Structure 1
Amino acid sequence: MITITEKEFVKFAAYIEANYGIHLKKEKQSLINGRLQGVLIENGFKSFSEYYDFITSHNGGEAMTTFINKITTNHTFFMREAEHFTFLKENVLPVLAAHCRDKDLRIWSAACSSGEEPYTLAMIIDEFFGREKVWWDTKILATDISDKALTIARNGEYANDKVAALPALWRTNYFKKLDRESSIVVEKIKNEVIFRNFNLMEKVFPFKKKFHVIFCRNVMIYFDGPTKEQLVQKFYDMTEYGGYLFIGHSESLNKDTTQYKYVMPAVYRKE
């Protein structure tokens, strides 16, 4: 077994934070050791330093993709923090539907992981607009840095016990059972979500239009204070006036520095 030294961990932690915003505390050393162990052995690296030199000299490509997939945590599920979805349907969508110009509703699921969040948003929107949906452009942008998570998301196949958390009508209308173990999202909903690989640490967000709603939940808990505030400011700049930012319930924005206005726990608005 190859063991990561404290000095090597510091190098990896600094690289990860600089490039992906994830702040790894000292107690995560054993986690990194375990997650990368197989990669080192499989590729014949004799130490973590050797692997570090390899990935940092190959900026991009398959080696970096593998590294990102190993270090990121992609834990999510349907209807996570369900009150957000209720608030969106009952309070946000009615206002946006009445005021969006050109029937162009723009929603971004940042750090979408394996797709449960954006698909839930697509189902809510489809149900809300009903027959009027045909007149609207409501495609959802869903981004993540993990290609592994995005592959699962694009496929849209989930274990039946995960889908069971959804309303019965949604399970009937928006999923097709594959077998006793799994179901797949129907094409009608799949086509409403655009999945892209994107790093939230990019200095400039390259989107042409601002968003009415941004979901970035349970991600900033991994960032340090300055990184988090810089990201929130970029979100603010990409939010339409009257638009909303949804974050995780274990997260909060600094009221003294953010321009967003507090609405309810983990929900903020640009006024």
Structure 2
Amino acid sequence: MSHALLRADPVAEPSASDRLTDKDFARIAALVSGEAGIKLPPAKKLMVEGRLRKRVRHLGLPNLTRYCEHLFDEDGLVREFVHLVDAVTTNKTDFFREPEHFVSLERSLLPELLSLRRRGAKPMLKLWSAASSNGAEAYTIAMVMADLAAKGDFQFAVLGTDISTKVLLVAERAVYPVEMIAPVPPEKQQRYLMRGCSPHRHKEARIVPELRSRVGFQRLNLIDSSYPIDRDVDVIFLRNVLIYFDKPTQEAVVRQLVGHLRPGGFLILGHSESMIGTNLRLPQRSPGVFQNT
């Protein structure tokens, strides 16, 4: 018996009405830049189209042309803006990403912060993951702090904020695929993660309740003129986010974040963003780590 070669059916090209015109893409890019500070250069057009088609289907609209009419000509933007931002933002994060920062937190930053507090008191340390995405960074911070708190006499609380409501829901649920938790050291996996037992949950893990109770999440747009956040935060993490902003926005966001640090507190940027911090003339303690003096 002979075997015929099977050819895959060609993938249908989107129709012209299901593509963003240059005008509509420019309007979306200007809106996202103006309201969220996120740059969408022309090279991102295909990515944006692909992500927005999911919203088009969800809304029951026939194509992207009709979606843009809904946004800009029919006042649909009032309800749709949050979903638009959710669709176009990139939320890349991992547990223990850039692990040197967590080693620094444990070995030098935390001891120094505790030395600045009044003796005899049991201080509350506040840590903020300012672009927390799905919560991996916030829970990583909490794991490190919980280990240290078990040996020291202090309390801690972690706040995670993000502009995307979609990823904040994931963070609050605190359930992750097992392959995502691979970077978590085995001893921390044992202490802070629960594995699913049922057949449809065995490939998932959830942060234990004791750790979840130390971490809160809320929506925040980093380019807002003010933040509803305490001004005595000990450590702020803002890593691998500023690269999506233009230079004036980068500097404005960093300046505002520093205003929420207590004297002696630390701002931690991504390794690729260290030069942004130097523009504020903050003392740099190590790659990406700056101190508010």
Q: Give the TM-score normalised by structure 1.
A: 0.92
Paired position in structure 2 for 1:248 = 270
1:80 is matched with which residue: 74, 85, 97?
Answer: 97
CA contact (8 A) 2:254 2:277 kept: no
1:119 to 132, 136, 139: 139
Q: In structure 1, what is the equivalent of residue 149 of structure 2?
A: 129
Q: CA deviation at 1:252?
A: 2.4
Q: 1:55 to 1:259 in 2, by over 3 A?
A: farther
**Residue pairs, 1:144-159, within 5 angstroms:** 144-159=162-177
Structure 2 counterpart of 1:244, one-letter code: F
Q: State which drifts further: 195-204 or 244-253.
A: 244-253
For 1:169, the equivalent position in structure 2 comes to 187
Identify unmatched segments of 5+ residues in structure 1.
none
**Aligned sequence identity (%):** 31
Counting only pairs closer than 5 Å after superposition, residues 192-231 of structure 1 correspond to structure 2 as: 192-231=214-253
Q: Which residue of 1 aligns with 2:55?
A: 39
Superposition deviation, residue 64 in structure 1: 2.5
Q: Distance in 2 between matches of 1:209 and 1:55?
A: 40
Deviation at 1:209, TM superposition (A): 2.9
Distance 2:112 2:90 in 1: 34
Q: CA shift at 1:41, angstroms?
A: 4.2
Q: Does 1:15 align with 2:26?
A: no
Displacement of 1:115 after TM fit? 0.7
- State the secondary structure of the residue aligned to 1:240: strand
Count of matched residue pairs: 267
Residues 267 and 289 of structure 2 are in contact (CA less than 8 Å); yes or no, is this contact kept in structure 1? Answer: yes
Equivalent-residue separation in structure 1 for 2:227 and 2:259 (angstroms): 9
Of 85, 89, 95, the match for 1:68: 85
Separation in structure 2 between the aligned mates of residue 157 and residue 254 of structure 1, nearest angstrom = 33
1:232 positional shift = 0.8
Aligned-pair CA distance for 1:191: 0.4
Code of the aligned partner of 1:25: P
Change (3 A) 1:57 1:100: farther
**How far is the alpha carbon of 1:32 from its aligned partner?**
1.0
One of 104, 107, 115 as aligned partner of 2:127: 107
Please say if residues 77 and 162 of structure 1, whose CA atoms lie closer than 8 Å, have aligned partners that are also in contact: yes
Larger helix fraction of residues: 1
RMSD: 1.9
2:56 aligns to what SS in structure 1? helix
Q: Compared with structure 1, are the counterparts of its residues 51 and 259 closer, same or farther at alpha carbon in structure 2 (3 Å cutoff)?
A: farther
Q: Provide the rounded CA distance (Å) in 2 between the counterparts of 1:230 and 1:188.
A: 36
The farther-off stretch of 168-177 and 46-55 is 46-55
